[in-house]
Chain A
Amino acid sequence: MDKRISIAFSLVLFILAILVIRLWHLQIIKGSEYKRLDERNRSRVIDIIAPRGVIYDRNGNPLVKNVLSFNVSMVSEDMPKDAETLAELGRLVGLETEQLIKLAKASTSPYENIYLMRDASFEEVAKVEARKIDFPGLQVEVSSSRGYLYGQTAAHVLGYLGIPTQKQLESPEYSGIPKQAFIGQFGIEKRYDRILRGIAGKKVVEVDALGNMIRSVRIQKPVRGKDLTLTIDVNVQMEAEKALQDKTGAVVAIKADTGEVLALASAPSFDPNLFVGGISYDHWKMLIEDSRKPLMNRAIQNQYPPGSTFKTVTALSALEKGIIDEDTTFFCGGSLFFGRTFRCWKDGGHGRVSLHRAIVESCDVYFYEVGKRIGIDTLAQYASAFGLGTPTDIELDGEASGIVPSTAWKLRTKKEKWYQGETLNTVIGQGYLTVTPIQMARLMAAAVNGGKLFKPHLVHGEHEGAEYKIAADIRPEYTEFVKKALLGVVYEGGGTARAARSDIVSIGGKTGTAQVIGGAVKEKDLPDHYKDHAWFTAFAPEYKPEIAVSVFVEHGGHGGSAAAPIARKVIEAHFNPPKPEEEMENAQVPEAVKQEEQVTTVQQQDGNTQSRESAGD
């Protein structure tokens, strides 16, 4: 038996030797590898989102602020498994049980964060914090978001933030942005995202197995995004939007001598604050399904026939080409026959009219006569030189180019030759010709500033010395002549834009009433959506024009009555800025964005004491 005991002890020694060899293997041979694994176990890299650059208007008024946004999240692994607790959780975060299950199923990994609440209010956060202990794994994340101080004002210019799409995350333009960051998805916020977003910082923290933060190891501070000053004047912008209220349309006001955009409004508008912390499905649906398309920026994204506002171009090109001179007169009998009958807007006709009167009273027959004599390609050349038919390259996405028809254009797109009759439509801004409101504002500026075609721009300081090209080589006496006529439109008897008369500044301009459907149907008999589009392009003051404005009202009816008063209000807002007190009243700062905060996101620590399992006693 002693022998067997010895054998047993030898076996023990043998097995112990194996254990020691294994220990040696783990601790000495693979020790450094396991040390790395051990550190990786504990280290988590947390992104610190950089405070986003603030956007100011030209007078230094902040238009946006950075705000804290609270998101309530949980990983699907931690979701309650029993129906009762799940329903309880649903009540806390305001979701149905089925919605919770759907969210959990949508996650790709058990450790992926599921957002139960985005942009929760302080009250909601307090409620969640109070019940956190009942739902292990429930956490409140803080992230930075935007507050748009003026609500809907300049929404189409400023844009909004949103969660990056998968495609954006993969593109080099957005490399290095934290997954949970909000990035610009529209407007200036999108175009200048790279500048505004700054550089996200990183924080290496030690966490325990439950994700509780124990201590931070290393911090790489975020670099704040650069501020941006816009050329927009928030007072002019607000006035433009107020004037457009309840209408569908657009207003663009630019500085005639630099191309700086003072106001760019599109109605109906939307409140970009809805997008803060992620837009809710209901709100998004509402915006998308609205037949008036509030998300569309009508100032640049839609193209319309310019109507009589185009007569400025027709007049200038006909003068320069010698087709007519300042004294040329034609007889208007209310219509003109050229293959078919072309009607003047005034049934009885204007009688014998000069060019000056033709512009003032917007006589169509006069311009038909010009159209009989001018080639479409000559007209197209001047129209293009005034910036029509190509995007203005303003710093916003989705700009439309408009159409400047020509013989080549018709052959290319319609596979048909051009008929001179179509030129008669084109000279009065109808037919194939389409433009965007911003193109018309720029055209107006170029017509009165000596032919300088500026690149309209929204960001101040980016275009120092203002880029421009000479629109068309038109003799100064002709531009002066047309300018006088444009003033006459507002101030002379029979002028079509007498509604634009202002007490504080001299305004000139050209009305336009673009037909939606052709023919001789009387406008007042038409349903709203067949009504004419109303245009007014204006400048002020008479000498050294400072501002050029284009106003477009969709189905607004007559340019003189629907569009001209809006232009007047915008121009007056520019020349007569509100006093500081008024400004305070006008700026409706939403309550929620008042609490401006410094901005970092760190996962909230949760101090839940987890009960330990004990296998002993």
Chain B
Amino acid sequence: MIDRRLIRDFDWGLLAAAVMLSLIGVMTIYSSTRPLLDMQQESFYLKQLNWIILSLVCSSLVLAIDYRWFTRFAYIFYIIGIILLVFVLIAGRTGMGAKRWISLGFFSFQPSEFFKIFFIATLTRYLSGLDQDLNLGLRELLKITAGFFLLPSLLILKQPDLGTMLILLFVFTAMILTAGIKKKIVVTALVIGLAVSPLVGKIFWGGLKDYQKNRIIAFIDPQADPKGIGYHITQSKVSIGAGGFIGKGYLKGTQGPYRFLPENHTDFIFSIFAEEWGFLGSIVLFGFYLFIIWRGFDAARSARDPEGRMLALGVTYMFTFYFIINVGMTLGLLPVVGVPLPLMSYGGTALLSNFLALSVIENVRMRRFASYY
């Protein structure tokens, strides 16, 4: 029997906002890929719609299982995740210069998308296994970093998938900071960080692939080569800026269908949305995202145990970073790192992973009063 409280504490608002955003995403994908000459409408929007349905089905399955089950088997998930990350490097499908996909014949997916959730669960399992009021010392910190973060981040960077690796880093840092860390370490880290950043920056720079370097150069000075590397940023700003206050109107946007803005239905979907719906529409869109983030933090705060709290928090952080980095990137505030806009960007694995993440938040919230069985 399902506990009636599970239904009562289900966050319908969160679900509504998530479904709403994903449908706005489908609409925007449709608009940005609409044909201009007498060609067929490409089926991206239909595929995305199918993925939404699939995601909702998978999410409800996840909801049926108590979140503590995830944390209990977190290490196993983690190991499976690592194996997949290794596998993708060996036998993955190459697309756009990176090995990110594992092809199963009928469909392909990015293991790193799921690994992020496994990672959050693993970290939760570890952190909540420690004392209640964490005040992590340096030793503990190094142990966690070496034990959980280092290997997967290197594997992901090798694909290469800088965006996902950065998200992982941010989520990791945010979770550690929220869990509690000695003030001394934070201060020392900041000081050392500032002192060695030129050196690290240089090593980091040397290790980047050319296109990654170009993205950073383009970010710093998009006008340097407007038809080359700065093209993305310039066109994205043009799309957003041309939207003005009320936007051009739905299906009236040009930057996408005229193909001036590359990857308009994936990473740069917000630019297309902002072009058609303007400042007003964008503020409403931000409202939806803020609402989801708020519900995430709220779920964490009202979780019945540290595990639930940490799990909801990690997932919320992940969602938040995706949102901020993607929008910041389209607005020309951050370098182009190839991070999709959660729920809206075209891409099945990412969509599924986002819905699963949100269902983790729901899971924690639903079971805040539930007895442990």
B266:A4 contact, CB within 8 angstroms: no
B257, B282, B294, B345 pick with most chain A CB within 10 angstroms:
B282
Quick one: which of B258, B317, B332 contacts A41, CB cutoff 8 A? B258
Q: How far is the CB of A106 from chain B (nearest CB, A)?
A: 20
**Closest residue on chain A to residue B345 by CB atoms:** A616
- Quick check: is A33 within 8 A (CB to CB) of the other chain? yes
State which residues 568-617 of A face B: CB under 8 Å: 605, 607, 609-610, 612-617
Interface residues in A1-55 by Cβ distance below 8 A to B read: 1-2, 4-5, 8-9, 12-13, 15-16, 18-20, 22-24, 26-28, 30-35, 37-38, 41-42
Q: For the complex, what is the distance from the CA of A13 to the CA of B324, rounded to whole Å?
A: 11
Question: Which residues of chain A from 209 to 249 have a CB within 8 Å of any chain B CB?
Answer: 209-210, 212, 214
Q: A129 near B: Cβ within 8 Å? A: no
Give every chain A residue within 8 A of B333 (Cβ-Cβ).
18-19, 22
Interchain CA distance A35-B95 in the complex, whole Å: 34
Q: Which stretch in B11-19, B36-44, B83-91 binds the other chain?
A: B36-44
A208 in contact (CB, < 8 A) = yes
Most buried by B among A16, A23, A607: A23
Q: How many angstroms between the C-alpha atoms of A194 and B188 in the bound complex?
A: 79
- The size bracket of the interface on B is 35 or more
Q: Once the chains bind, are B324 and A617 in contact (CB under 8 Å)?
A: no
Q: Per a CB cutoff under 8 Å, which of A19, A208, A605, A617 touches B347?
A: A617
Q: Which of B39, B238, B267 lies in contact with A37, CB distance below 8 A? A: B238
Given contacts A4-B178, A26-B331, A208-B258, contact A34 B240 (CB under 8 A): yes
Nearest CB of chain B from residue A211's CB, rounded to whole Å: 10
B245 at the interface (CB under 8 A from A): yes
Instruction: Name which residue of chain B comes closest to A39, CB basis.
Output: B242
- The answer on a CB contact under 8 Å between A617 and B109 is yes
- CB of A614 within 8 A of CB of B259, answer no
- Contact (Cβ within 8 A) B260 A208: yes
B46 within 8 A of A: no
Is A15 in contact with B349, judged by CB distance below 8 angstroms? no
Residue B237 lies at the interface, judged by CB distance under 8 Å to chain A:
yes
Give the distance in Å from the alpha carbon of A18 to the alpha carbon of B325 in the complex.
Answer: 12
| Chain B residues near A33 (CB-CB < 8 A) | 241
B263-299 contact mask (Cβ, 8 Å, vs A): 1 or 0 = 1011100000010001100110010001001100100
- What residues of B have a CB within 8 angstroms of the CB of A5 in the complex? 178, 297, 300-301, 313
Query: Do A8 and B278 form a contact, CB below 8 Å, given A35-B242, A42-B258, A616-B349?
Result: no
Chain B residues within 8 Å of A20, by CB: 283, 286
Partner of A35, one of B42, B44, B244: B244
Q: Mark B21-60, 1 if CB is under 8 A from A, else 0.
A: 0000000000001001101001010010001000000000
- Answer yes or no: B309 CB below 8 A from chain A CBs: yes
> Does B71 reach chain A (CB closer than 8 Å)?
no
Best-surrounded residue of A23, A609, A616 (most CB of chain B within 10 A): A616
Q: How far apart are B215's CB and chain A's nearest CB, in angstroms?
A: 14
The docked-state distance in angstroms from the alpha carbon of A28 to that of B238 is 12
Is B258's CB under 8 angstroms from A19's CB? no
B340: Cβ under 8 A from any A Cβ: yes
Alpha-carbon separation in the docked complex, A60 to B243 (Å): 60
> Could you say which residues of chain B place their CB within 8 Å of the CB of A35?
241-242, 244
In the assembled complex, B177 has its CB within 8 A of some CB on chain A: yes
> Taking A16-B286, A27-B274, A616-B266 as contacts, is the C-beta distance between A1 and B180 under 8 angstroms?
yes
| B255 close to A (CB within 8 Å) | yes
How far in angstroms is the closest Cβ of chain B from A272?
40
B242 touches A38 (CB 8 A): yes
**CA of A9 to CA of B349, assembled, Å:** 27
Residue picked from A37, A41, A206, A607, most chain B C-beta under 10 Å: A41
Contact of A614 among B174, B301, B346 (CB under 8 A): B346
B123 CB to nearest chain A CB (Å): 15
Q: Are B327 and A616 in contact (CB under 8 A)?
A: no
Give chain B nearest CB distance to A466 CB in angstroms: 60
Among B95, B240, B324, B345, contact of A27 (Cβ-Cβ < 8 Å): B240
The answer for the CA separation of A207 and B278 in the assembled complex, in Å, is 23
Partner of A2, one of B174, B283, B301, B349: B301
Does B112 lie at the interface of the complex (its beta carbon under 8 Å from any beta carbon of A)? no
A8's partner among B95, B174, B283 (CB-CB below 8 A) is: B174
A215 to chain B, nearest CB (A): 8
Knowing A38-B254, A41-B255, A41-B260, the reply to whether A27 touches B286 (Cβ < 8 A) is no
Q: Give the Cβ gap from A399 to chain B, nearest Cβ, in Å.
A: 50
Residue of chain A at shortest CB distance from B44: A614
* Chain B neighbourhood of A34, CB < 8 A: 237-238, 240-242
Are B340 and A615 neighbours in the complex by a CB distance under 8 Å? Answer: yes
User: With A16-B290, A34-B237 in contact, do A615 and B349 touch (Cβ < 8 Å)?
Assistant: no
Q: How far is the CA of A207 from the CA of B309 in the complex (A)?
A: 53
**Contact A38 to B266, CB < 8 A, known contacts A22-B333, A615-B340:** no
Contact B241 A208 (CB under 8 A): no
Whether A609 contacts B245 in the complex (CB less than 8 A), given A37-B238, A616-B266, comes out as no
**Chain B min CB distance to A454 (Å):** 61
Give the shortest distance, in Å, between B331 (CB) and chain A (any CB): 5
The CA of A41 and the CA of B253, in the complex, are separated in Å by 13
Q: Which residues of A contact B109 (CB under 8 A)?
A: 617
Chain B residues near A208 (CB-CB < 8 A): 36, 257-260
Whether B37 lies near A23 (C-beta < 8 A) is no
Contact B178 A19 (CB under 8 A): no
Q: Which residues of A contact B301 (CB under 8 A)?
A: 2, 5
Check if B350 is an interface residue, CB within 8 A of chain A. Answer: yes
B160 lies within 8 A of chain A by Cβ = no
Binding site for B on A (CB under 8 A): 1-2, 4-5, 8-9, 12-13, 15-16, 18-20, 22-24, 26-28, 30-35, 37-38, 41-42, 111, 206-210, 212, 214, 605, 607, 609-610, 612-617
A-B residue pairs in contact (CB < 8 Å), sample of 12: A8-B178, A9-B297, A27-B240, A28-B244, A38-B241, A38-B242, A41-B235, A41-B258, A208-B257, A615-B95, A617-B101, A617-B349
What would 16 more interface pairs be, CB under 8 Å, given A22-B332, A208-B257?
A1-B180, A5-B297, A12-B324, A19-B331, A26-B240, A26-B241, A27-B240, A31-B245, A35-B244, A38-B241, A38-B254, A210-B259, A212-B37, A214-B37, A612-B42, A614-B265
